[in-house]
Amino acid sequence: MAEDATSAPPTAELAAASISSPSPSDLEPPTTRTRIRAILDAGESLAGQRVVVGGWVKTGRQQGKGEFAFLEVNDGSCQGNLQVMVDKDVHPLAPLTHTGTSVLVEGVLKKPPAEAKQRIELKVEKVIEVGEVDAAAYPLPKTKITLETLRDFVHLRARTNTIGAVARIRHQLAYATHTFFNENDYLYIHTPIITTSDCEGAGEMFQVTALFSQAEKADKELKLNPAPLEADVEAAKLVVKEKANAVIQLKAAKASKQEITAAVSELTKAKENVLRLEERSKLKPGIPRKDDGTIAFETDFFRRQAFLTVSGQLQVETYACALGSVYTFGPTFRAENSHTSRHLAEFWMVEPEIAFANLHDDMNCAESYVQYLCKWLLKHCREDMEFMVKHVDKTAIERLELVSSTPFERISYTKAVEILEGTGKKFENKVEWGIDLASEHERYLTEVIFKKPVIVYNYPKGIKAFYMRLNEDQNTVAAMDVLVPKVGELIGGSQREERLDVLKQRILDADLPLEPYEWYLDLRRFGTVKHSGFGLGFERMILFATGLENIRDVIPFPRYPGRADL
């Protein structure tokens, strides 16, 4: 496994936002814009250079009795703002100073007075574009606003310091994920969002169906044009008989080819009319159902029940069992009516799958991956992490340093329960063998007992999914969870059950039908292979890194019960 996050994203510090090249005469020339991050990083060394800068005004103030204005401009490339100075002779100042105003300006960078906090500022010589703001209506004030309130303005909240920092941290974690697996020769596989199987067996899935729109369309059609009666169909059939007899008579009378062709054409139209009437006579209002009252999914778009995926694991296993080491990274969905700070209806999962790998290999991969992510953030997101330390969680960087450099503790589930029972601590959720460890148990193990990440393995089979390999004791499965401070469970994984007969029985024991999993069983019928994998909740990784409390604040567009904005 790769141990160090040594390679930075391939971005040139002073790269233009667009490539300057000859453009057709009917188009505006391309915009060559310098990112604020590059200016602030270079500092005084850029004094005297002419640049174009675009961004949004964080704060603005007129000074010198209205002769000039100072704007604090941010373009999202970093946490810091660039101080921009505009004279009233260059542009009217009032429209520029409201928080939220967008500006595209050209000017010369200069070194400010010695007493100033800034190392570099921009003296504007030309205001190219302005996106004005109605200050009375703009919902984001200069003063502090709670993250909970910001969720009501999900379309604007990325303009705040905290959400901007989260976006950059999220980007770096995604980039680091792809870099880690690429460096270790994994193939990135796109697994389907629409699936016909339940990976977890919990049944909390969003259904994908066109039946409602089909029913609405049918209801509207029936109101405008009621379904034909049985008498209408019979009358149409009589017309077919008449047309058929006419063709027979013409042929018997040796009529001309033109007459016979015309009669056959009329017969064909009559038959088509019967088919249309018979089809329309079957139309009924509402969702189509079978005789036993169950929904007739064979009339649906996919001709069967379909769902939004809860995991890409089962599908990505098909590629692991052909190509070796693979991973998928995409959105997953749970229709769990939960309002906790740790649950979303839509979230992202990183799911590697490794052929010829046992549970030990799985744990090694998970540990290396998490440590790689921590090292990457420490190297490439220092400014945003320091912001989190100052404003969100003072231990955030300390936690990343601990996890990135400390070997993870590894204990069995049975041992974990024994340790928790032996503490004498009164937990809200009682500790006993067979329970699914709660977040309070997981955090106690990592934050109090071991003071570092812990991998718990060999869980009771009754609390784990059907695909996890049954151990020889017949009571536990080869599962493992990676627990980290602040969050608790960050990763869940296992060695997969590669024995056909055992897997069949596990599916039946979970009260699941075999038919949707026949393709999954084929992987065991045809060249079965020992393989393992895990899933990392991407938003949980961001919670762990930043120290934020609510998972709704670390995903750009949170979906949870009652909310699906935008």
Taking the C-alpha atoms of residue 500 and residue 274, their distance in angstroms, rounded to an integer, is 51
Task: Say whether pLDDT at 282 is over 80.
Answer: no
Residue 512, Cβ density class (10 Å: 0-12 exposed, 13-18 middle, ≥19 buried): middle
Encode pLDDT of 486-497 as tens digits.
999 999 999 999
Which residues is 493 bridged to in the sheet?
Answer: 480, 534
Task: Say which residue, 9 or 372, is predicted with more confidence.
Answer: 372
Q: What is the pLDDT of residue 222?
A: 81
Encode pLDDT of 378-401 as tens digits.
999 999 999 999 999 999 999 999
Helix (H) or strand (E) segment spanning residue 233: helix 230-252
> For residues 173 and 373, is the Cβ–Cβ distance under 8 A?
yes
Long-range CB contact pairs, 474-477, < 8 A, 24+: 476/413
Amino acid at 196: T
Backbone angles phi, psi at 169, to 5 degrees: -65, -45
Structure-derived torsion over alpha carbons of residues 51, 54, 56, 57, reported in degrees to the nearest 10: 30
Encode pLDDT of 293-314 as tens digits.
899 899 899 999 999 999 999 9
- Six-digit token string for 93: 């100042």
Task: Say whether pLDDT at 511 is over 80.
Answer: yes
Q: What is the pLDDT of residue 124?
A: 97
Instruction: Name the band, by pLDDT with cuts 50, 70 and 90, for residue 142.
Output: confident
Q: What is the pLDDT of residue 23?
A: 60
Task: Say whether pLDDT at 11 is over 50.
Answer: no
Q: Is the pTM of this model over 0.85?
A: yes
Task: Say whether pLDDT at 202 is over 60.
Answer: no
% of the chain residues with pLDDT over 70: 95
What is the maximal distance between C-alpha atoms in the chain?
113
Task: Say whether pLDDT at 7 is over 80.
Answer: no
Instruction: Name the band, by pLDDT with cuts 50, 70 and 90, for residue 280.
Output: confident
Which residues is 71 bridged to in the sheet?
Answer: 60, 84
**3-state DSSP percent of the chain in helix, strand and coil, to 5:** 40, 20, 40
Encode pLDDT of 314-337 as tens digits.
999 999 999 999 999 999 999 988
Taking the C-alpha atoms of residue 287 and residue 254, their distance in angstroms, rounded to an integer, is 53
The residue behind tokens 């329960």 is 417
| Residue 166: C-alpha distances to residues 5, 163, 496, 544, 552 (Å) | 20, 5, 34, 12, 11
- Six-digit token string for 112: 């400010």
Mean pLDDT over the full length of the chain: 92
Task: Say which residue, 515 or 162, is predicted with more confidence.
Answer: 162
Encode pLDDT of 206-253 as tens digits.
999 999 988 888 888 788 888 888 898 899 999 999 999 999 999 899
Encode pLDDT of 535-560 as tens digits.
999 999 999 999 999 999 999 999 99
Q: What is the pLDDT of residue 22?
A: 58
- Six-digit token string for 245: 């007899």
Backbone angles phi, psi at 129, to 5 degrees: -145, 150
Taking the C-alpha atoms of residue 267 and residue 246, their distance in angstroms, rounded to an integer, is 9
Encode pLDDT of 23-82 as tens digits.
667 788 888 999 999 999 999 999 999 999 999 999 999 999 999 999 999 999 999 999
β-strands 454-460, 409-412 pairing? parallel
Task: Say whether pLDDT at 104 is over 80.
Answer: yes
Q: What is the mean pLDDT of residues 414-441?
A: 95
Q: What is the mean pLDDT of residues 479-483?
A: 98
Q: What is the pLDDT of residue 277?
A: 87
